[in-house]
Amino acid sequence: MPEKKDVLLQVLGSEEFEVFYKKYLLSWTKSYSASSQESQESYDLLQSHLEKIQIPECYISILGIQGAGKSSFLNALLFGEDILPVEVEETTCIPTMVRRVYKGEKPGALVYYSDDQVEPIPLKREFLEKIVDNRYNPGNIMDAKYVVCKADIHLLKEGFVFVDLPGVGSLTEKNEETTMRFLQETHIGIFMLRTVPPITESEAGFIDIAWPRLQESLFVQNLWARETEKEVKEGMEHNRKVLEKIAQKRNTKIPDVLIPVNVAMACQASYSQDQEALEKSGLNEVKQAIREYGKGAALDMRHRKTAHFFLRLISKAKEHIEERLSLIQSDRQDVKDKIQQARLKMEKVAEEMQLRIQQSCENFLSEISSVKTDWLSEKLEKTTDEMIEKMDRLPLEDLKEEAFRQEVRENFSDSFGILYQQFKEKLAIAAEEYVKSLGESLQQISSPEQVLQEGFCNTPKDKKGASGWGVILSGSVAPMIITGPVGWTILGGAILTGGLVRWISGATAHKRIIQGLKKALGDGKRQIRKELLREIDAFSESVLKAIQESVQSECTGYLEELQKREEDLQKKQTDQKQQKNELQQDLKMASMFIEYLTSIIH
């Protein structure tokens, strides 16, 4: 039996399908190009799918807090030498992609800037650190968006693309969009966990947010060669329990294995090509797991999704071809009247849709407003009070200044990280209820597809089955329900750092420390409120825009279909005979495409 990949290429890569796609499907894919990261002018949905089928790129994001060993892990896994900067005191937190060398390229690195300029640099640490090390690029004054490393490495040639993302708490406004894009395109997430300390509440909060939104996940525990045997055992047990708890809460599959890797040993073994030490480090086990995840069920799932996507479009086109064939054999005046009636009815439907969208929009914005004014204020106050009470019970005056700041940051990260999880869930629920409500509202009126069916099809579908607004609208907002930049900053405690230095330095008495802490928390709370309000506004605006674009695109597609029928009607009788033959041939092609693609899904 042919492989799914071969069947997809045979169908989607054929000249016949390219003609069919441009003739019938292109107008229905405009909404997908609009939501793509590429511009509409350059985005070719069919070509994009074909490229990913031929050499399926599997995006693997390395996730975790700064200092967990993500860059060292990639140096050992991929390069066998010190290429990605490590042990940097403070990074500019720029996402770094590592991919294979494409045809016609040479190994090297590319720096992408916010003004769309691209600078080629050698693939060497001394050049890369000029971009990602805060000593050379303070506060990212160079305004770099991300770095792409092109390497001639066997694992990359297999189609794997690795992305070293900013650590939790290190995301900035400048790299927000790029980081979120990489996270949305991720097929496999590798969570780098520490042994000492094991998963903290803030790390658990980040995993809780990101894990359910990834196709596949691997968990790697970094040993660093400094822990005792007891610490390793206790750290592994703690991390397993935390992951099991999150999995049960999120109804996510519990990870089959937590892979321990001695990253320091892996680096030394990789650099010296010591295969025995490399095996002992645990790195080979990770590499094997990556291949199994990337080429197994995950790849099969992507092939099925591609087949299902085009099958839906082709089936819709097939129905319209059948209706057009029927019209060619009908009375011309009768068809002309039906087209005019359908156009008028579609205009009324469009007006009714806009009215219902506006009504649902007002309800959605009202719910969002209550989150901003009531829910958020109450949660911020409660979280702040609970943290003060918790810190007041600790012997803060006995801690050294740096240990104290670390203690406060971690507690802040834990407390407000939980608040942020609830915040994102609140927004997600509001968006999902908006989509559900609007879908039910639109279900009560005729959809553009139903207008065509009622006017031209002898056996129209039932109203409920024909609309499908829930699927269309849900797909338009699904990519937005994901952790944002504020969450990454909160979970690392980064918002609080400046306040701690200003108000706590030099304090000795417990009472004075708590007073200073209250002031620092007040500053942090106001900053979080400001950032969360901005994230709420951006989220609601994006949801409303996506809904409008989806509905408009759906309506436009059916208006274009109506235009095709009008053009059929205007053709002379001799032309209609030729048109009939073409439609019959296209109908056969559609049936053949459907047969092949159906075999992939089942």
Q: Average pLDDT per run of 10 along the chain, which is 602 residues long?
A: 83 93 79 40 63 76 84 94 78 82 89 92 94 81 92 90 78 58 79 87 73 80 82 90 83 79 93 93 93 71 83 89 80 75 81 82 88 90 89 81 73 77 80 79 70 61 45 47 46 47 50 81 83 85 80 76 75 73 93 93 78
In the prediction, which pLDDT does 121 show? 96
Distance of CA 306 to the CA centre of its chain: 17
Q: Is residue 357 part of a domain?
A: yes
Burial per residue of 401-438, b for 16 or more beta-carbon CB atoms within 10 angstroms, e otherwise: eeebbeebbbbbbbbbbbbbbebbebbbebbeebbeeb
Do 418 and 354 lie in one domain? The reply is yes
In total, how many domains does the chain have? Answer: 2
Q: Is residue 176 part of a domain?
A: yes
Do 262 and 368 lie in one domain? The reply is no
Do 276 and 391 lie in one domain? The reply is no
Tell me how far apart the alpha carbons of residues 538 and 517 are, in angstroms, rounded to a whole number: 31
Assign 112 to helix, strand or coil: strand
In the prediction, which pLDDT does 523 show? 81
Do 161 and 277 lie in one domain? The reply is yes
Q: Is residue 416 part of a domain?
A: yes
Do 217 and 131 lie in one domain? The reply is yes
In the prediction, which pLDDT does 84 show? 92
Q: Report the run of H or E that residue 351 belongs to, with start and end.
A: helix 332-370
In the prediction, which pLDDT does 454 show? 66
In the prediction, which pLDDT does 28 show? 67
In the prediction, which pLDDT does 469 show? 54
Q: Is residue 254 part of a domain?
A: yes
In the prediction, which pLDDT does 464 show? 39
CB 165 within 8 A of CB 179: yes
Of the residues 264, 279, 295, which one is the last residue of a structural domain?
295
CA neighbours within 13 Å on the CB side: how many for 571?
17
Q: Which of 449, 288, 427 is nearest to 369 (CA)?
A: 427
Q: Which amino acid is at 418?
A: I
Q: Cα torsion at 109, 167, 427, 34 (round to 10°)?
A: 0
Do 290 and 340 lie in one domain? The reply is no
Q: Is residue 456 part of a domain?
A: yes
Domain carrying residue 287: 55-295
Distance of CA 365 to the CA centre of its chain: 24
Of the residues 295, 323, 349, which one is the last residue of a structural domain?
295
In the prediction, which pLDDT does 135 show? 79
Which residue is listed with tokens 């520490």? 194
In the prediction, which pLDDT does 112 show? 93
CB 219 within 8 A of CB 282: no
Q: Is residue 112 part of a domain?
A: yes
Do 359 and 486 lie in one domain? The reply is yes
Do 388 and 467 lie in one domain? The reply is yes
Assign 147 to helix, strand or coil: strand
Do 105 and 229 lie in one domain? The reply is yes
Tell me how far apart the alpha carbons of residues 68 and 501 are, in angstroms, rounded to a whole number: 24
Q: Sheet harboring 144-151: ordered strands across? A: 118-121, 108-113, 144-151, 96-100, 160-164, 58-63, 188-194, 216-222, 258-261
Beta strand 96-100 with 160-164: parallel, antiparallel or unpaired?
A: antiparallel
Q: Is residue 193 part of a domain?
A: yes
In the prediction, which pLDDT does 449 show? 67
